[in-house]
Amino acid sequence: MSKGEVFNELLSRLNIHPVLIDIGSSGAPPEIWDPIARHSVYVGFDPDLREMHEVPDGRFRKAITVNEAVMGEQGGESVTFYLTRSPYCSSTLKPDLESLSNFLFSDLFVVEREASVKASTLNSILDRLSLDRVDWFKTDSQGIDLRLFNSLRDEVRSRVLAVDIEPGLISAYLGEDTFVDVHRSLTREGFWLSNVNVCGTVRMRQSALAEAARLERGIDRAFVEQNLRKTPGWCEARYLRTIESLPRGGAEEDRRDYVLLWTFSLIDEQFGFALDVGMEYEKVFGADDVSRAMKAEAAARIKRARPARPRGPSTLARAKSLVPAPAKRLIKKIIR
């Protein structure tokens, strides 16, 4: 079978249409959703239209773009939006310029203007769109990721199966939700950390860059960003719902959650967990064609799996590459 054929067949047969929420969707929908896009309802949010990308027709079963800011709590009908030099840094929170001044990319957070933009709560938007669930919640809201997730009404939040979130490791915004807050809250909510990519920037003030350029030829921002080690500044984290927090009643509606969590596990390449979900499905609903397909596909993916390639050379290899050739020959003589 071709990749994705089994879960696509199950989604079609069981008439399952995942609801994918994408808050801060300037960069276009995540590629990880491509295998399930034709079954899915996609809702993208972003009030900063300078980098908004239209979703190609036909990619999703249904695609909706909401050009409004999303609030974490009920307020007025508008909110102040800080439009920064980089559209990807705009937020409803004010940038923490004092903290950011220690980092080379601080100029990206300079507020070019403030705008009063239309704003709504997630719950009111879901009601407006006649959506009673969210299956995969992805947010890059520049500092308010956690409060947006927590703002979902209990019956919706308790059935979210996957969360993609980008909390900070440094103070980039005043009063932002950091990774420590996010991880503690989501694990208590019944999620486990499936993947994390730590991103960063050069910790260097703009004045230091100017001084380095004065002292040494050839030093400019591009050189520094390419050659200096990055300091962790934020992370891209993915959480999946634990089996223990799935509904246990065995109702027909619950079957959907098990099949979708299994599907999300496969496209996230968590093949072992996918088999766990398939086996749990069989315990709750009994053995049937669905459980057999879930288990067989997960096992087949495990069989085809190959060791992940290292992201870069080992520390020892990097160290060796820095040793001049004459020194390498001397080292070989000593260790013989």
328 in a domain, yes or no? Answer: no
Q: Is residue 258 assigned to a domain?
A: no
Reported as a single tens digit per residue, the pLDDT across 225-253 is 999 999 999 999 999 999 999 987 777 78
Is 43 part of any domain? Answer: yes
Q: What value, to the nearest 5°, has the Cα angle with vertex 91 and ends 86 and 96?
A: 85
The per-residue pLDDT for range 23-57, each reduced to its tens digit, is 876 667 889 999 999 999 999 987 655 444 556 66
**What pLDDT band is residue 1 in, cutting at 50, 70 and 90?**
very low
What is the residue type of 1? Answer: M
Q: Within a domain: residue 284?
A: no
Domain-embedded: residue 326:
no
Please provide the average confidence, as pLDDT, over all residues in the chain. 85
Q: How many residues does the chain have?
A: 336
On the question of pLDDT at 280 being above 90, the answer is yes
Whether residue 146 is predicted with pLDDT greater than 70 in this model: the reply is yes
| pLDDT at 319 > cutoff 60 | no
Percent of the chain scoring above 90 in pLDDT: 66
Which pTM value belongs to this model? Answer: 0.85
List the helix and strand counts (H, then E) for the chain.
13, 10
Query: How far, in Å, CA of 267 to CA of 39, rounded?
Result: 14
Alpha-carbon gap, residue 62 to 39, rounded angstroms: 8
Q: What pLDDT does residue 323 have?
A: 39
CATH number at residue 129: 3.40.50
Q: What single DSSP character describes residue 70?
A: E
Spatial separation of the C-alpha atoms in residues 149 and 137, rounded to whole Å: 8
Three-state DSSP class for residue 310: coil
52 in helix, strand or coil? coil
Q: Residue 256: pLDDT above 60?
A: yes
Domain assignment present for 247: no
Contact 276, 310 (CB under 8 A): no
With 0-12 CB in 10 A as exposed, 13-18 as middle and 19+ as buried, what is 193?
Answer: middle
Residue 266 covered by a domain = no
Our count of domains for the chain comes to 1
Q: Which contiguous run of DSSP H or E holds residue 299?
A: helix 289-304
Domain hosting residue 186, numbered range: 5-241
Give the pLDDT confidence score for residue 273 in this predicted structure.
98
The reply to whether 30 falls in a domain is yes
- Spatial CA neighbour of 19 closest among 182, 147, 154, 129: 129
**Residue 264, pLDDT above cutoff 80:** yes
Answer whether 77's CB lies under 8 Å from 129's CB: no
Q: What is the pLDDT of residue 313?
A: 39
